[in-house]
Each structure stands twice: as structure tokens, then as C-alpha cells.
Amino acid sequence: MRSVSILGATGSVGESAFDLLMQSGGPARWRVVALTGGRNVARLAQMARALGAELAVIADDTLLPALRDALAGTEIEAAGGAQALIEAADRPADWVLSAIVGAAGLAPGLRVAERGGVLALANKESLVAAGPLLMGTAARTGATILPVDSEHSAIFQCLDRNNIEAVERVTITASGGAFRDWPLERLAHATVAEASCHPNWTMGQRITIDSASMFNKALEVIEAHEFFALPAGRIAVLVHPESIVHAMVSYADGGTLAHLGPPDMRHAIGHALHWPRREPLGLPRLDLAALGSLTFRAPCETRWPALALARQVIASGGAAGAVFNAAKEQALDDFIAGRIRFTDMAPAVDRALAAAAGRAGFGASPDSLAAVLDWDRQARRDAAAVRGVAGQGAA
């Protein structure tokens, strides 16, 4: 019986993983070590009961009494708080999915790498903020990191590891998000509700807005750089409104391998869950005849300035990834809270990167969690400082 843990079980990716476990035998097949949630006690308790989990952790520790109540009458252990999340990650399990959103996923994911475990990584922010630390830790301990982000899972599946030097380019596709066809002048007035509707994928609100701004793709370019050790010049982005081709790998002989699949995260999660085998998954199949055609176009960098910022981050190296991720999270918080406009997010991140570049130590990759978090805190302050500017602009 394989043992599994899901960090961020109550989110969109966590729900997809839960569905896969339930439809492939549930507790009769899987030993579920730990499930974690942020604030959604009711759903966490329901999932823990359904899968017979050994431990349920709620990140917001004020909600621990409510979790205990919801698990009353079961033998499921309940815990709360950031340290309990790390302890959940530390519990031996054959496979751990990191599906927490944002920088909060870094410490638990890093703990899995430190104990040499198998980390299925949906939390792209970990690689963006601390790629060298996470990958270096995994190399040292023998941990396995498997990509769950659909584009990176696609690259992973198309990559000929015996011919890495022959890889000319990887291309990750982007749907273009909610505003891909909006007139540019409308973008400054985009509302949170409008940015929160994805044309193809059903995902958490934050990644959906990041898709509209293309910050999600910017994170993914950096993620591909960190995960596959590719330079920025060999990572291309292509707008593909149908979200069927997830990524392509082009080789020196002119051949290109593409990965296709319906826009459903269960395919990428299922691939990582069963890797290195390919097991049957009871999921929708691709019907290309029904689709008829697939379209592609080059991304417009005026519409999506986040893409140029991603290349700047890769060129800078050092602490730039930690700064970029944190500044982006702060700008997104500010947009969701109505403090800045949609089009203020990229300038806020740019400003945080410029401020950080002037600080001592920027050129060196943070070599500990504490160092990453120091850059993270400062970057959030720098990005937040743009609020006044945005307020004046909007007035």
C-alpha cells in the first residue's frame, strides 16, 4: 500500500488529487498520512474522514478547535499552525503533493526535500523563490521532485534525458487568460471579478488572476529555468487559446515533441502520482476531431509586461526570484483588495526588483529558508509602496 500526503488538500489542485485517490480505490488502496488546509476546516475534515487520513492540519491555528470538533469520533489526529504543516511534511509518506498556494508552500516542500522524499510540486512559487535551495537540497539528499504544473509535466514527459544537449528550446503555452482579446486601454479598468474568470481552466482565484496578467506564465518560465536548468533564451512562450498543447520540446535535428491533453489538472497530478509507471486514469480523453483546429500566436509584451520581468529575473539570478515572487504576491493582494489597478501590478513588481538590486547580497542565491524569507518580507514592503502612486493615478 503506498502512502501519500497532500499539502493544500482543500484547494483546486488538492481537490483534483483527492478525486484521483478516491476514484482509484480510496482508503482501501492508499494510506493517507497527512492532509492539510489553510482555513477550510469543514472540507478538510470531510476529506480526512473519506480517506481515513492519519493527520489533518489546518494552517490557521485559531481554527484548530473547530477542526477537532469536526473530527470528533474519529482517530484522526488534528493539528494547527505553520509548524504543524512542516511536521506534516516531515511524516514519512512515499509521495507528497505540495499544492499550497504561494510562498507558504516553500517551508513544507523544502522539508520533504530535506528528508529525501518524493515531492510532487504544484507549488511553483517554491521553485521561483528558492529554486537553487530546493533543487540543491534534493540533489544532496536524493529527494525526487516531480513537476505537477501541467506545462512542466508536459516538458518532463517530452524530454529525452539521453539527449539533453540536443534540446534547442522548450515552449510553454499560455491560454492568454481572461483579457487576451481585450483592447489594451480597457486593462486599467479590469475588475477582480473579470480577472477571476479563466476561459479554459478551473483553478484557484490567485492563479486565475495570474493567468490574466501572465504573471502565472512568468512564474512558469522561471520554474522551467530552475527545474530543467535551461537558460532563458531556450524557454519560449506561445499563446494557445485552446489549452490543449501544454508544452513542446524542440531538438537540434528539427523535430519537436508536443504534449497534448484536455485542460484538466488530474492528468498531470495522475502522471506524478504513478510515475515512473503510466497507470490507467479514468479521465476525459482528447478528441481532436471534435476540436477541429488548434491556434497559436506570439505573446504581446505590451499587454503582458510580466514576461519581460521573468527574463530579467533569470538574467539577474541571486535573490531576484524570491523578490519577484513576493512582490507579485503583494501586488496581487493589493489588486484583490482594490488598493491598486490591474495594470499597477507589473510596475509594483518592477519597483521591488529595482529596490532589491541596490541591496547588499542581491547577487547571491539565498542559501537558507531564513534568507529567502528575509528577501520576501522586504520585497512585499517595496511592492506595497506603489499603492500611493496607484491611488494618485486612479484619482
Candidate segments 34-42, 300-308, 310-318, 353-361, binder of ligand NDP by CB under 6 A: 34-42
Q: Does 99 bind ligand NDP (CB under 6 A)?
A: yes
Nearer to ligand NDP, 226 or 355 (CB): 226
Q: Which of 149, 223, 344, 350 binds ligand NDP (CB under 6 A)?
A: 149
Burial letters 106-138, b for 16+ CB under 10 A, else e:
bbbbbbbbbbebbbbbbbbbbbbbbbbbbbebb
Helix (H) or strand (E) holding 378: helix 369-384
Nearer to ligand NDP, 265 or 373 (CB): 265
Q: What is the 3-state secondary structure (H, E, C) of 128-195?
A: HHHHHHHHHHHHHHCCEEEECCHHHHHHHHHCCHHHHHHEEEEEEEECCCCCCCCCHHHHHHCCHHHH
Q: Does 104 bind ligand NDP (CB under 6 A)?
A: yes
Are 112 and 143 in contact, with CB atoms under 8 Å apart?
Answer: yes
Q: Does 376 bind ligand NDP (CB under 6 A)?
A: no
Q: Does 157 bind ligand NDP (CB under 6 A)?
A: no
Letters for 217-256 (x = contact with ligand NDP by CB under 6 A, - = none) are: ----------------------------------------
Nearer to ligand NDP, 176 or 390 (CB): 176
Q: Does 131 bind ligand NDP (CB under 6 A)?
A: no
CB of residue 232 to ligand NDP, shortest distance in Å = 20
CB of residue 207 to ligand NDP, shortest distance in Å = 4
Candidate segments 9-17, 279-287, 293-301, 309-317, binder of ligand NDP by CB under 6 A: 9-17
CA distances from 242 to 36, 63, 175, 247, 261 (A): 33, 40, 7, 13, 11
**Residue number of the CB atom closest to ligand NDP:** 11
Q: Which of 51, 70, 84, 100 binds ligand NDP (CB under 6 A)?
A: 100
Q: Does 124 bind ligand NDP (CB under 6 A)?
A: yes
Candidate segments 63-71, 116-124, 231-239, 273-281, binder of ligand NDP by CB under 6 A: 116-124
- Work out whether strand 95-98 and strand 2-7 pair parallel, antiparallel, or are unpaired: parallel
Q: Does 125 bind ligand NDP (CB under 6 A)?
A: yes
Nearer to ligand NDP, 43 or 351 (CB): 43
Are 134 and 373 in contact, with CB atoms under 8 Å apart?
Answer: no
Nearer to ligand NDP, 41 or 355 (CB): 41
Q: Which three cell numbers stand for residue 365?
A: 542565491
- For the beta carbon of residue 236, count every other beta carbon within 10 angstroms: 17
Distance of CA 111 to the CA centre of its chain: 17
Q: Which three cell numbers stand for residue 58?
A: 489546518
Candidate segments 123-131, 274-282, 315-323, 379-387, binder of ligand NDP by CB under 6 A: 123-131
Half-sphere exposure (Cβ direction) of 51: Cα atoms closer than 13 Å: 30
Q: Does 20 bind ligand NDP (CB under 6 A)?
A: no
CB of residue 151 to ligand NDP, shortest distance in Å = 8
Q: Does 362 bind ligand NDP (CB under 6 A)?
A: no
User: How far is residue 59's CA from residue 144's CA, in Å, rounded to a whole number?
Assistant: 25
User: How far is residue 392's CA from residue 395's CA, in Å, rounded to a whole number?
Assistant: 5
What SS3 class is residue 30? strand
Cell numbers 502512502: residue: 3
Number of residues that bind ligand NDP (CB under 6 A): 28
116: region left, alpha or beta (phi > 0 left; psi from -120 to 50 alpha): left
Q: Which of 13, 112, 143, 222 binds ligand NDP (CB under 6 A)?
A: 13
Q: Which of 246, 262, 234 is nearest to 175 (CA)?
A: 246
Question: Where do contacts with ligand NDP occur on this chain (CB under 6 A)?
Answer: 8-14, 37-40, 59, 85, 99-101, 104, 122-125, 149, 201, 203-204, 206-207, 265
